[in-house]
Structures are given as structure tokens and as C-alpha cells.
Amino acid sequence: MKRLDYLLWLVAEEAVEVAQRASKAARFGLEEVQPGQEQNNALRMFGELADLLTAFDMLTEESAVMRQANLDAGKVVVETRKAKRAKIEKFMLYSIERGTLEKRYNARHERIGPGLGLEPEVLISQSALPR
């Protein structure tokens, strides 16, 4: 196996580890500390992301094609991320309409939705709101 192949497999493996930690956080909470661990799921997820980014950096350093793509992508990444955020928010609104995602409320019990550019607020489930 060539070094480039090794790094490609490593990027894939690290991406799966980010997904696994996100899955654990979704099931057990961001604050949960797994027995035998010192960090909560939120910190561990950032650690896995750092591992992925490190592997991606090494892959980019190894490959001329990746280095050129990195230069070309720099102009595109900001717009791509904006477009992806809008797409995610669109589907979050659809999920709210379908009843599969809770509506968000701020501390004043006012409904807010994704994409409104609001600062993070206290999230309160609908069942906790005064009737």
C-alpha cells in the first residue's frame, strides 16, 4: 500500500469516528461521560474532529492533486458552507412541519426557527411550555 492510499483510508476511518461520537452524543447526551473516560461526548467529538482534520492535512501534504484542490477550494468553501447551511435549515423546517423535530423556543417562550440568525437560546420542548 502506498502512503497516499494509507492516508485516504485514515481519513475515511477518522470520519467514521466523528460520526460514531456524534451518534453516542445523540443517544446519551453531549454532557455524558462514558465510564472509564475523562471527557464528555462534546469534548470527545471535537477530539475526533481534530484527528480527522489532521489526517486530512497529511493527505493534502502528500498529494499534489489534493494541494491544488485545496487552493481551488479555498474560494469555494465559504459559499459551499453557506449553501449547505441553508439546505440543512430548509430540511429542519420541513421536519418541524412533519412533527419529527421539536420547535425551538427562547427563554421568553417565543417560537424561533432555524436560519433566523439568532444567538443560541434556551431550548424548551413544547410540552414544557405553559398552556
Ordered per-residue pLDDT tens for the chain, 131 residues: 999 999 999 999 999 999 999 999 999 999 999 999 999 999 999 999 999 999 999 999 999 998 888 888 776 777 888 888 889 888 888 888 888 888 876 556 566 655 544 433 333 333 433 33
Q: Tell me, yes or no, whether 113 lies in a domain.
A: no
Q: Tell me, yes or no, whether 119 lies in a domain.
A: no
Rounded to whole angstroms, how far apart are CA atoms 73 and 35? 41
Number of domains in the chain: 1
Amino acid at 64: A
Q: Tell me, yes or no, whether 116 lies in a domain.
A: no
Q: Tell me, yes or no, whether 112 lies in a domain.
A: no
Give the residue ranges of DSSP H helices in the chain: 3-28, 41-62, 64-98
Q: Cell 447526551 sits at which residue? A: 29
Question: 3 CB contacts (<8 Å, ≥6 apart)?
Answer: 62
CA-nearest of 88, 99, 108 to 122 is 108
Tell me the residue range of the domain where 48 lies.
Answer: 3-100
Q: What is the pTM of this model?
A: 0.70
Yes or no: say if 66 and 59 are a contact pair by the CB < 8 Å rule: yes
Residue 82 confidence (pLDDT): 84
Q: Tell me, yes or no, whether 36 lies in a domain.
A: yes
Q: Tell me, yes or no, whether 108 lies in a domain.
A: no
Q: Tell me, yes or no, whether 130 lies in a domain.
A: no
Q: Tell me, yes or no, whether 15 lies in a domain.
A: yes
Burial (Cβ within 10 Å: 0-12, 13-18, ≥19) of residue 78: exposed
